[in-house]
Structure 1
């Protein structure tokens, strides 16, 4: 037992020093992401929160603010013009996705032509999700899942045949419906509050630092959707296997 405890101690140290470092500061393998995070002084408007350490370029951050931008040819106004206060949340959502280096614990493999990795079940703070829903409840859409099922025959997304445009509050009756369903469970609604260190904030004041750094560390150490032991096995680097 003493020997096994010693091995576990060595593994923990190895994982802390090697694995967690890579999980805590990483860019996913996707269409517009940089290979490694780093400073980006010229990030545009809402994406500026990540200028000290970003997975996005200035060009990507500009595209995040444009209707039908070069990023994905996605049209927010597919059922009429999206209200400005609602659009701000989708811009912030895009900035978080494209720019944040703190989503490592929730990155998984993806089978898409435009990305090799995606995020799943990122624990979004209660307030961020509810603000998003509150400001978008009167916006109009024709689909619950915006990742798939669109008519792309014109080169941009249009509502599929037979769909009906209606307010968000009917398509997404609760804040959790919006946050979890719109991007195929990329986010997970939580009852954790902003500043708790247990949920990711879409919005924060960079003057006070990036609160998501501590959140990513917590979940990397304690497991996102897996136990700490499973995380250790899945993420174990070659240098640590010699200790087994």
Structure 2
């Protein structure tokens, strides 16, 4: 008969493997990652293994899409150079299957039960994002909360002043870390380091699984998602 220690070790290995290829429990994510025949434009790099559907990928490119009714142009019309980064950010959020080490349970869930926190973003991705958006306008530092939703989509709260990104976010680090409530962590790692997550990469060349594996092995994860805990319990019961 298998010893309890050995069974727990097997469960730990199984959970670790899943954490390298898992979808968050959120509004539009698939239950499990898998190939998609055709993902739209900037989401296409994930088509071989994605947590998003083709329909979701198409709507990530639209202002006020049904996904979240979020309007990037809440102050002035956002430039195409800046908008492409927010589209890529949305594709990354919806499609990436390699964020297991950074997935955390949402304390007071409304439209999602899990989110990612402190994903170590490559310096090039963060700096380029900030440079392309620094002269665009926004009225808020944290885009996760505090909007006026009475019209059905996000509008600036009363008395909020529209200012250039570079005034609201003086540095690339401040923007990447604050705009989505610490979803991302600014790093000085480059894309060749193997220690940072890339938001941009050629189709079929997703480097982020190896990065996730590096962090999973380096230190304890922030917490095993509920879906993986359930999987571990089932596996343990089968082994007993």
TM-score by length of structure 2 reads 0.89
Aligned twin of 2:17:
21
CA shift, 1:20, in A, is 1.3
Runs of 4+ in 1 over 6 A off after TM superposition: 7-10
Would you say 1:188 and 2:185 are equivalent positions?
yes
Matches within 5 A, 1:69-108: 69-108=65-104
Residues 153-198 of structure 1, C-alpha deviations (whole Å, 9 max, x = no match)? 1000000001000100000001011100000000000111112111
Matches within 5 A, 1:5-154: 15-16=12-13, 18-110=14-106, 111-154=108-151
Which structure is richer in relative contact order (CA contacts within 8 A, separation 6 or more)?
2
* Structure 2: distance between partners of 1:79 and 1:87: 13
Aligned twin of 2:203:
206
**Structure 1: unaligned runs, 5 residues or longer:** 1-6
Partner SS for 1:112: coil
Partner SS for 1:101: coil
Partner SS for 1:87: helix
Residues 3-36 of structure 1, C-alpha deviations (whole Å, 9 max, x = no match)? xxxx9898666533x1211101000000000001
Partner SS for 2:120: strand
CA shift, 1:216, in A, is 0.9
Residues 196-235 of structure 1, C-alpha deviations (whole Å, 9 max, x = no match)? 111100001124x210010111111222665xxx87xx96
* Structure 1: distance between partners of 2:11 and 2:112: 30
* Structure 1: distance between partners of 2:120 and 2:236: 29
Q: How many residues of Structure 1 are paired with residues of Structure 2 in the alignment?
A: 231
CA shift, 1:53, in A, is 0.3
TM-score by length of structure 1 reads 0.87
* Structure 2: distance between partners of 1:80 and 1:224: 43
Contact 1:137–1:168 at 8 Å: present in 2 too? yes
* Structure 1: distance between partners of 2:128 and 2:8: 42
Measured on the aligned residues, the alpha-carbon RMSD in Å equals 2.3
* Structure 2: distance between partners of 1:170 and 1:145: 14
CA shift, 1:99, in A, is 0.2
**Structure 2: unaligned runs, 5 residues or longer:** none
